[in-house]
Amino acid sequence: MAEMGIAAFKIFMVVDTGRSYPHMPGIGVHDHGRILEIMQHCAKVNVPLMVHPHDQALMDVIEKEFWDRQQRDAPGLCQGLCGP
């Protein structure tokens, strides 16, 4: 992908909760050793890496209220993060 001219890579530090929202299952990289390996590889190919930090314990508390209301969509997530 770097040879094809990709502008950057992005990884998400999410934990696989098995839910499909707000993040698809299986996309998270939360092993710090693996994240370092990815950073090193990106440095070798000279492509920036963006890391989307995610604290699952914090998100569990934030998500509980809107999940309890069955709001499993973008507006529900926004209300959970930003308030009504």
Could you read off the pLDDT tens digit of each residue along the chain, which spans 84 residues? Answer: 888 888 999 888 877 777 666 667 677 888 899 999 999 999 999 999 999 887 778 777 877 777 788 877 777 777 766 665
- For residue 33, CA distances in Å to 5, 38, 55 come to 26, 9, 17
Establish if 2 belongs to a structural domain. no
* 8 A C-beta contact, residue 30 and residue 13: yes
Establish if 1 belongs to a structural domain. no
| Domain span holding position 27 | 9-82
Q: Give me the amino acid identity at 23.
A: H
Global pTM exceeds 0.75: no
Total domains present in the chain:
1
Establish if 47 belongs to a structural domain. yes
Token look-up 């092993």 returns 31
